[in-house]
């Protein structure tokens, strides 16, 4: 199939820094290429891919201080995609909504994945204005805020990671891991309280965004100065394997409906169980009692910590391999593309 993947330009694909969407676009693009498809990646010029790269600007926007208008390069990209659309069987957009008015009625087969939260009041009327546009959700829970709107959902496809990105780690090092941003939504303060009450050491790997500096200074920093609490700052992709693989469990006491928490499947890839608050996509990702525990609050997490030590790390890894590889993610997308194009078996039967 001739497939175009259209990435955000904020970060390179894969990202040099933080950038969940760009990572997923990279994994998807590489797997589709590995499966023999002719993939074109619209992305910043510092992207690295085995697909054909259509570079939209020399450097990703976040790394280029000369760029003030981050939308302009995206509008140019939308036009470039339209200009080249005849060369693709399907175009897959990952840039929120910027393509919608330009694509309407053009006869270009396309689909869009929304990677962010859909409960923003300004997003809903926009999606409602495009009832014909097919969307992919990254979890069923992501759709909830749009329950009252007529959306052409093409499917839910959970994220996946390259199978060998993070190796299985059969033994753990007796600490709880927290990995994410130091933001109220991610709940690092709850994580520390839970670990301290349980008397288990906790290590936190996290970046502090400028927007979260006050929260970090006022709420988190005072908690860091305790025995058994270690803040190791931001870690890169290469350091994740050791950090997550060495943990007895990952703790994600999130306080928002996260549409998909990549860190959960990263831990599972290492064989590390996940204790997660029951918000957003968590029940779609964690298999309660197998790959971790789904809890309601800090008290529930305390109880789950006892159980987590008893989970079989090999079964956690197996849960990852069964449901969260990039290969599975790519195959789900291929099936979805074929469905949209009417090339799947059911469509063919309907057409008869």
Q: How near is the Cβ of 123 to a copy of itself at its closest, in Å?
A: 6
Out of 50, 79, 197, 226, point to the residue binding a copy of itself (CB under 8 A).
Answer: 79
Q: State the minimum distance, in angstroms, from the CB of residue 104 to a copy of itself.
A: 7
Tokens matching residue 288: 């309660």
Q: DSSP alpha helices (H): ranges in the chain? A: 20-34, 71-84, 100-103, 123-128, 140-143, 188-198, 213-215, 221-224, 237-245, 262-269, 282-285, 298-308, 313-323, 326-340, 345-351
**And the tokens for 304?**
């789950």
Q: What string marks each residue from 31 to 60 as x (binds a copy of itself by CB under 8 A) or -?
A: --------------------------x---
Q: Which is nearer to a copy of itself, 52 or 104 (CB)?
A: 104
The window from 69-77, 161-169, 205-213, 336-344 that contacts a copy of itself (CB under 8 A) reads 69-77
DSSP code of residue 325: B
Nearest to 196 by CA among 221, 225, 217: 225
Give ∠ CA 224-229-230 in degrees, rounded to 5.
Answer: 90
Residues 6+ apart with CB under 8 A from 126: 97, 100
75 contacts a copy of itself (rule: CB under 8 A): yes
66 in contact with a copy of itself (CB under 8 A): yes
Is there binding between residue 78 and a copy of itself (CB under 8 A)? Answer: yes
3-class SS of residue 125: helix
Shortest Cβ distance from residue 45 to a copy of itself (Å)?
12
Compute the least distance from the CB of residue 177 to a copy of itself, in Å. 29
Bridge partners of 42, per DSSP, are 6, 54
Angle subtended at Cα 90 by Cα 89 and Cα 96, rounded to the nearest 5 degrees = 165
Between 52 and 106, CB nearer to a copy of itself: 106
* Shortest Å distance, C-beta 118 to a copy of itself: 11
N residues, the chain = 352
Closer CB to a copy of itself, residue 72 or residue 221? Answer: 72
Minimum CB separation from a copy of itself for residue 59, in Å?
A: 11
Q: How far is the CB of 213 from a copy of itself (least distance, A)?
A: 14
Q: Is residue 152 near a copy of itself by the rule CB under 8 A?
A: no
213 touching a copy of itself, by CB under 8 A? no
Evaluate whether 81 touches 103 at the Cβ level (below 8 Å).
no
For a copy of itself, the binding residues in 101-140 under the rule CB under 8 A are 101-102, 104, 120-123, 125-126, 129-130
- Give counts: helices (H), strands (E), the chain: 15, 13
CB closer to a copy of itself, 36 vs 121: 121
Interface ranges with a copy of itself (CB under 8 A): 57, 66-73, 75-76, 78-80, 82, 96-98, 100-102, 104, 120-123, 125-126, 129-130
């Amino acid at each position: 199939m001739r497939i175009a993947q259209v990435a955000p330009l904020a970060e390179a694909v894969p990202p040099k820094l933080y950038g969940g969407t760009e990572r997923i676009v990279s994994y998807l693009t590489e797997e589709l290429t590995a499966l023999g498809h002719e993939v074109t990646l619209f992305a910043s010029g510092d992207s690295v891919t085995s697909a054909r790269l259509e570079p939209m600007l020399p450097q990703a926007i976040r790394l280029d201080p000369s760029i003030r208008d981050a939308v302009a390069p995206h509008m140019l990209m939308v036009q470039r995609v339209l200009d080249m659309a005849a060369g693709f069987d399907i175009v897959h957009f990952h840039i929120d909504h910027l393509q919608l008015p330009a694509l309407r009625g053009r006869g270009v087969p396309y689909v869009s994945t929304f990677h962010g939260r859909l409960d923003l009041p300004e997003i809903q009327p926009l999606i409602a204005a495009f009832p014909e546009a097919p969307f992919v959700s990254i979890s069923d829970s992501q759709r909830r805020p749009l329950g009252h709107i007529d959306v052409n959902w093409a499917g839910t496809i959970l994220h996946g990671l390259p199978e060998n990105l993070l190796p299985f780690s059969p033994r753990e090092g007796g600490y709880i891991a927290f990995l994410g941003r130091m933001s109220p939504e991610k709940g690092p303060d709850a994580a520390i309280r839970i670990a301290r009450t349980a008397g288990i050491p906790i290590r936190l790997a996290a970046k502090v965004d400028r927007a979260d500096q006050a929260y970090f200074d006022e709420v988190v920093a005072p908690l860091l100065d305790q025995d058994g609490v270690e803040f190791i700052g931001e870690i890169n992709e290469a350091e994740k394997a050791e950090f997550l693989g060495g943990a007895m469990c990952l703790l994600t006491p999130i306080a928002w409906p996260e549409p998909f928490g990549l860190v959960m499947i990263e831990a599972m890839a290492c064989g590390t169980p996940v204790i997660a608050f029951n918000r957003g996509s968590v029940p779609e990702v964690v298999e309660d009692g197998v790959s971790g525990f789904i809890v309601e609050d800090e008290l529930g997490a305390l109880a789950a910590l006892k159980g987590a030590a008893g989970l079989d790390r090999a079964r956690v890894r197996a849960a990852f391999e069964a449901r969260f590889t990039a290969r599975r993610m790519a195959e789900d997308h291929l099936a979805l593309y074929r469905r949209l194009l009417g090339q799947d078996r059911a469509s063919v039967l309907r057409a008869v």
